[in-house]
Structure 1
Amino acid sequence: MTDDVASEIAVEQAHVDRVHEELEKAGHRADVVQAEGLARGHIAKSAEVGMEEAAGLFERDALMFHAAKRRTALDTQYEGLVFGRLDLDHAMLREAAARANGHGGSGGAAGTEDAGGTDDAGGANGSGERQARPDDREVRYIGRLGVRDDDYEPLVIDWRAPAASAFYRATPAQPMGVLRRRVLRSRGATVIGIEDDLMVPEPPDDLVIVGDGALMAALTRTRGERMRDIVATIQAHQDEAIRASARGVTEITGGPGTGKTVVALHRAAYLLYSERRRFESGGILVVGPSGAYTAYIERVLPSLGEDSVTLRALGDVIDAMHAERLDPPEVARLKGSTRIRPLLSAAARGRVPGAPTELRVMVAGRAVRLEARALDRVRSQVLRQHQRNAATAVAQAALGEAAWASLGVTGERDAKAEFIDKWEDHLDVESFMEQWWPQVDPREVLLWLADPELVRRHARGAFSPADAELLAGSFTTALETGTWSVADVALVDDLAGRVGPVKEKEAEERGFYEIEEFDDLTQYGVTEVQPVNRPEREDTSHTRSADPRERLLAGRIGKPDDYAHVLVDEAQDLSPMQWRMIGLRGRTASWTVVGDAAQASWPDPDEATTAREEAYGRQVRQLFHMDTNYRNAREIFDYAAEVVRREVPDADIPQAVRETGIHPVEGSLGEDPMGSVREAVLHLLGEVDGSVAVITPSSYAARLAPLSELAHDGVDGRVQVVDPMSTKGLEYDATVVVDPREIVRESPGGVRVLYVALTRAAHRMTVLSAQEQEFARAR
């Protein structure tokens, strides 16, 4: 962490500390109001309630309600209370208002409630840009709820208030008086990070800019008018995408480093603010490629309400499942293709493994025997029109009809009615149904396919024997490790739609003389003494269990949520089955979709495109293309572009606008890979101030993992050891790319995934090959 960043964090921490002090005072005030409410309207039980007493009771109830509501707000909003800051220049607002009035319009002054006169404050900086005077500036902090000090001055503005609108609506093209927009990341009451967006071509000299905003400022300051024009063009084009119509499908494309992700996330924030009722009630789903990615973007897209924005990695789309493990490429292709759907359908409709294959029972004095073929026929008949878990009663009734038909009795209507009546309540029939037609978790159905013979039987020629072995082996791996793969989640989602939610068994009625356990005494007028503000316990049952199968089946899978807007980043990586999964959650949604085909890890773009179009439906489309790379130094990006063009000649290659004069370093892993990588990392730690990533294929991951604990000059936490797929959407100050050939070999997208790895570094990159000369020639 640089001194400037540490100093800025200290400034924000001081303000957050002050806010929390006021929060404590507000809590005490709420307690006082609650105590006063309890004192109001105190009436003896035997007293008759008159008008005066009734008024006292009403005052008491009102005070208690508002005190409890305020206390709940204070308690629940404590985490990440302050998440934003605006540095405003009122002279800019006055100038915007003057221009708008001069042209007879109001668009330029939208949201400028502070616009007053037309006088120009501040002088020129020699380049035609006005420098804001300190006395023209205002700082506004944005948070989950409003907080004022003892003088009733605002310390935090509620994000829903009009005065906070510029935090979501300001862009470089329409800054709304904002010089700098800052996002604060906190853990509890501690500020752990900041990220700035620069809203003006050149900031005042005393305004420190951190993050991508700092990059924009550096580009502008170091390159003069030409670079300022380029940056303004980038920002204007990004602004168009951010403010595009909320209807239909908005696609944002572009190569690495073009800011696609940041634009998409700011678009989500803008939509949520500009059409709050629609998107806050319907919700926005943000889907990214990995858990590391969703953790990273939380700093770009601040929390905007309790349930407004849902962040999900592809392995976390289903609430009861969490998956990070990646299948080998050949298995991932089988699971991701829609060719697997007939196999899933057959498994969902098939026999439950271990279920009885024959029914023998005496009903109404008649011996019933149904063989496996008759049972299969009943099951097939019921599942044509019903989900398995919702059809237990239907299946039992259909089985009763089949049982009566098997007796060969005709013309005895009363006898059949008696038989069916006995059948419905027969204990032996109920016992049989529990084994033959149990409630089935969709994850169980997938685990049935760990049997290669079952896969071959259900696949019906859709997969070769070798493919069947690969699929069965992957589910065996799940059972052995207690972990799902990311591709499994979409399969479970498909199966959940086929079998339906698991129905909980109804509680048995108690007999008259049975002793009840008083779990809840409130229904009997007894109030238990309980501690106040108990934190909710996190469900860790899936981590506590030592049994892998129990971990796989922990929790309950319910119906998928339906969202008002769906944002998909790294869309080129989604398999057709994953597109079906996301599409199910966006049936009535508008979409923002971000991607770059040259970075795709899914090998069949045509099949993925078909599934994507099905997810979109017939909605209108609008396309925005980002063509300027301002993340990577030109020397790094030229190296990466040369690699990807070898196999993807039509790759979308943006223009890198920043030069450092420092080219990537190529080296050899040699006989001691750990030593070679460690040496490269230590060198880079001395070259850059920020993060260094070791991007490694799985074959080296275990050996290189200790490097994540490597410290430099007493500072640790700067080194990350990460696999190529988990770097998607992320960036680092410097990277060490380990064994490019092995990355290509083990990755589902081959050289496209290597291209991702080679475009993660902003300033420095070292490439270490097992066979240096061969890789250089291949490039």
Structure 2
Amino acid sequence: MSERQHLADSRAALRRMREHTATLKAIGGDHVSTEHLKQALFRRMKALEDDPTVPLFFGRLDYDTALGAEHDERLYIGRRHVSSEAGGEPMVIDWRAPVSLPFYQARPGQPMQVRLRRRFGFQHGELTAYEDEELTQTAAEAASDILESEIERPRTGPMRDIVATIQPEQDTIVRTDLKRSVCVQGAPGTGKTAVGLHRAAFLLYAFRDQLARSGVLVVGPNDSFLSYIADVLPALGEIDATQATVVSLVTKATGTEIRALDVVPAALIKGDARMAQVIRRAVWDHIGSAGESLVVPRGSHQWRVGAYLIDEAVAAIRERGVRYDAGRAMLPQRLAHQVLLRMEAGGDSPDDRVQNAVARSRPVKAYADAIWPAVDGKKLIFRLLTDADYLAGCAEGILTPEEQQTIMIKKPGRSAGSAKWSLADVVLIDEANDVLNRTPSLGHVILDEAQDLSAMQLRAVGRRASTGSVTVLGDLAQATTPWATSSWQESLTHLGKADATIEELVAGFRVPGSVIEFAARLLPSIAPALTPPHSVRRSRGDLAIQQTASPLQAMLDATRRMLDEEGTIGVIVADDDVGRVRKVLEKAGIRYDLLGEDAQIFDSRVDLVPASLAKGLEFDHVVLLEPAAIVAGEADKVTGLRRLYVCLTRAVTSLAVVHADELPDQLMAA
């Protein structure tokens, strides 16, 4: 009863905190300060919103002075800090606070100053149970029914936070210092995406002032995935992180729409890191040599600067390693400085105002523009991909003649503005723009499903964290693009974070044992170097494999059976089978959402999932139709088997595999 009362009192205290915030007025010293304060108060109000279906706390720590603690105190651990009205005493401690660490890291015999750890069970926001663990005892750690129940709790929509179930190895990654970049190789169900999002929440808490200025960005593989994870950070009280895909990042930055699709050979070359060398050479080769002296008339005199001095000034600017446009802006001042030196030698006493006037003068500006001309990134890439002779000059010694011919745009249009650009093209434009002007850097970038990005796409993400850090998430066994990475060290190098720490998660908390073991039969063929994952759940889950002459009817029957169970259902099919499966579901009157098409996905209990969009998603129950068709839908067998591995590992509770064609040989193994 006392714990339920503490929950009620905590909710009342949170309500008072929000009401108090609502009474505050934003009055700054000027308009800008006032608007800044309004935004701060808005974010504070959002952070203090209470969801009655979500418990305010999920654990309790009893610190003991006999174990080295400063005070005997009882702390409740939850999603956000809640303090009492009288004296501001903490009623709930934020899970990210240092004093909350033992909730995740303490072990029997390693109590971290805590005598007792209590876990709470909840249903619809109401406290229903608790478990106590005496940490001073050295007995083996007992399994927690509440922890396992929370991990296996059916989903009712998009991804939710795992703050109550974070495991020690996950917590270590979450709390890594902001200065360090981390790469997480995570098998299906190990919680790598959740770890990345909780790391974002932790960093925004522990380094709030720094990241409030520099920002946090979450990059996902597609819009469906971003919709799936969109509620996690707000549920933890964090609304300052932004979300994007590589597509949205580069199209917004370049102002370029994607209207074309590359064939695989062209995309492979355009995505190769060597293209960065070609682009850099193409940009900097615009700089010419001084063919004649600069003559600047001023008053009754004409001041002359020799060509060799101008070439030296250009070389000095380039040696500084500045971006192309920054160097171009510096050149007129360098030329003006040379003019002033001659004016001083002639007996004048010019000052900075004279130098600025000379730098802005027509002769100096015209001379500088001729030597260091303006370059437009989009026009540059258009010329590279449409002018064979120009590409040959820029790519000599970098790309073979055959590779050059492969990436030429066949029907380019009349100008860069009318061209139909592919994603790989827009990434090249983004690279060119960065050679011209430095891309602004964020404080931290979370990059999920990173194994599927090309080298040039990785560079595009990496330059947005050039002065910050990254958390890279992925699974090499789930790499399904022709340009996918071959190793994490290679990917980190392209990101500019070669010194990042690589962590591996192999303990599956979401995918049940029967499912992960069945899917892992594919690993020797698709990723033999990886450690096979294992499930830590006591429940083995339900795995049903049915070969039938009527697979569509069997798929429909399995979906209906799953509708009698609690939780979400994903019907995963080869992309080419989406049309006929839609007709079957609609004829049967089953309401569903189609991922990749419906604006409001995850509203229905049933989601129809094209195999190409399954990555990163989880469903309580999965019906997988025709594994052989999913494999056949990819460019090669290994990629097809990796796609199948992704689809097989989306289930949290049960998986029904329905097929007429024979299963791949790897799955038929005893």
Q: Same fold (TM over 0.5)?
A: yes
- Displacement of 1:583 in angstroms is 3.4
Go from structure 1 to structure 2 and tell me whether the alpha carbon gap of 1:284 and 1:723 turns closer, same or farther (over 3 Å shift): same
Query: Where does residue 745 of structure 1 map in the other structure?
Result: 635
Matched, 1:758 2:639: no
What is the alpha-carbon distance in structure 1 between the residues aligned to residue 375 and residue 574 of structure 2? 38
State the SS of the aligned residue for 1:632: coil
The residue correspondences of 1:136-151 to structure 2 (distance < 5 A) are 142=80
Matched, 1:736 2:650: no
Higher alpha-carbon Rg: 1
Go from structure 1 to structure 2 and tell me whether the alpha carbon gap of 1:258 and 1:748 turns closer, same or farther (over 3 Å shift): same
Go from structure 1 to structure 2 and tell me whether the alpha carbon gap of 1:620 and 1:482 turns closer, same or farther (over 3 Å shift): closer
Matched, 1:496 2:415: no
- Displacement of 1:262 in angstroms is 1.8
CA deviation profile, 1:156-211 (whole Å, cap 9, x unmatched): x99xx89442366464445996745999xxxxxxxxx9999x99689xxxxxx999
What is the alpha-carbon distance in structure 1 between the residues aligned to residue 235 and residue 411 of structure 2? 37
- Displacement of 1:106 in angstroms is 2.0
The residue correspondences of 1:272-351 to structure 2 (distance < 5 A) are 272-302=204-234, 308-318=240-250, 320=253, 328-349=263-284
Query: Where does residue 166 of structure 1 map in the other structure?
Result: 95
Matched, 1:630 2:509: yes
What is the alpha-carbon distance in structure 1 between the residues aligned to residue 492 and residue 265 of structure 2? 22
What is the alpha-carbon distance in structure 2 between the residues aligned to residue 467 and residue 668 of structure 1? 47
What is the alpha-carbon distance in structure 2 between the residues aligned to residue 64 and residue 424 of structure 1? 35
- Displacement of 1:499 in angstroms is 1.8
State the SS of the aligned residue for 1:257: coil
Query: Where does residue 106 of structure 1 map in the other structure?
Result: 69
- Displacement of 1:243 in angstroms is 3.8
- Displacement of 1:597 in angstroms is 2.1
Q: Which amino acid aligns with 1:639?
A: F
- Displacement of 1:634 in angstroms is 3.0
Q: Which amino acid aligns with 1:292?
A: S
Go from structure 1 to structure 2 and tell me whether the alpha carbon gap of 1:628 and 1:76 turns closer, same or farther (over 3 Å shift): closer
CA deviation profile, 1:320-346 (whole Å, cap 9, x unmatched): 359899755434422332121232224
Q: 1:215 aligns with which of 126, 129, 151?
A: 151
Matched, 1:692 2:569: yes
Query: Where does residue 640 of structure 1 map in the other structure?
Result: 519
Work out whether residues 560 and 585 of structure 1, in 8 Å CA contact, stay in contact via their aligned partners in 2.
yes
State the SS of the aligned residue for 1:106: coil
Query: Where does residue 460 of structure 1 map in the other structure?
Result: 396
How many residues are paired up?
567
The residue correspondences of 1:456-605 to structure 2 (distance < 5 A) are 456-460=392-396, 462-473=398-409, 476=412, 484-485=422-423, 487-488=424-425, 490-500=427-437, 559-563=439-443, 565-601=444-480, 605=485
CA deviation profile, 1:272-291 (whole Å, cap 9, x unmatched): 33444444454434333333
Q: Which amino acid aligns with 1:105?
A: G
Q: Which runs of 5+ in 2 are unaligned?
A: 1-6, 107-113, 134-144, 155-163, 288-295, 298-310, 337-345, 347-356, 593-602
Work out whether residues 274 and 398 of structure 2, in 8 Å CA contact, stay in contact via their aligned partners in 1.
yes
- Displacement of 1:451 in angstroms is 1.1
Q: Which amino acid aligns with 1:736?
A: L
What is the alpha-carbon distance in structure 1 between the residues aligned to residue 585 and residue 655 of structure 2? 17
- Displacement of 1:742 in angstroms is 2.8
Work out whether residues 623 and 655 of structure 2, in 8 Å CA contact, stay in contact via their aligned partners in 1.
yes
Identity of aligned residues (%): 23
Query: Where does residue 445 of structure 1 map in the other structure?
Result: 380
What is the alpha-carbon distance in structure 1 between the residues aligned to residue 635 and residue 42 of structure 2? 51
- Displacement of 1:617 in angstroms is 5.2
Query: Where does residue 773 of structure 1 map in the other structure?
Result: 662
Go from structure 1 to structure 2 and tell me whether the alpha carbon gap of 1:500 and 1:732 turns closer, same or farther (over 3 Å shift): same
CA deviation profile, 1:528-547 (whole Å, cap 9, x unmatched): xxxxxxxxxxxxxxxxxxxx
Go from structure 1 to structure 2 and tell me whether the alpha carbon gap of 1:467 and 1:615 turns closer, same or farther (over 3 Å shift): closer
Work out whether residues 286 and 568 of structure 1, in 8 Å CA contact, stay in contact via their aligned partners in 2.
yes
What is the alpha-carbon distance in structure 2 between the residues aligned to residue 752 and residue 449 of structure 1? 35
Query: Where does residue 39 of structure 1 map in the other structure?
Result: none
Work out whether residues 668 and 768 of structure 1, in 8 Å CA contact, stay in contact via their aligned partners in 2.
no
Q: Which amino acid aligns with 2:49?
A: V
The residue correspondences of 1:87-486 to structure 2 (distance < 5 A) are 87-88=56-57, 92-93=60-61, 96-97=62-63, 100-102=64-66, 104-106=67-69, 114=74, 142=80, 163-166=92-95, 169=100, 171-173=103-105, 179=119, 214-216=150-152, 235-244=167-176, 247-302=179-234, 308-318=240-250, 320=253, 328-349=263-284, 387-390=323-326, 439-451=374-386, 453=388, 454-460=390-396, 462-473=398-409, 476=412, 484-485=422-423
Query: Where does residue 339 of structure 2 map in the other structure?
Result: none
Relative to the length of structure 2, the TM-score reads: 0.64
Q: 2:540 aligns with which of 632, 652, 659?
A: 659
State the SS of the aligned residue for 2:509: strand
CA deviation profile, 1:249-276 (whole Å, cap 9, x unmatched): 4443331111222223323323433444
Work out whether residues 455 and 468 of structure 1, in 8 Å CA contact, stay in contact via their aligned partners in 2.
yes
CA deviation profile, 1:580-639 (whole Å, cap 9, x unmatched): 333334344444333322222465745762451475657574x54322223223333233
Q: 1:609 aligns with which of 485, 489, 493?
A: 489
- Displacement of 1:105 in angstroms is 1.3
What is the alpha-carbon distance in structure 2 between the residues aligned to residue 114 and residue 63 of structure 1? 45
Work out whether residues 234 and 628 of structure 1, in 8 Å CA contact, stay in contact via their aligned partners in 2.
no
What is the alpha-carbon distance in structure 1 between the residues aligned to residue 58 and residue 359 of structure 2? 81
Work out whether residues 150 and 165 of structure 2, in 8 Å CA contact, stay in contact via their aligned partners in 1.
no
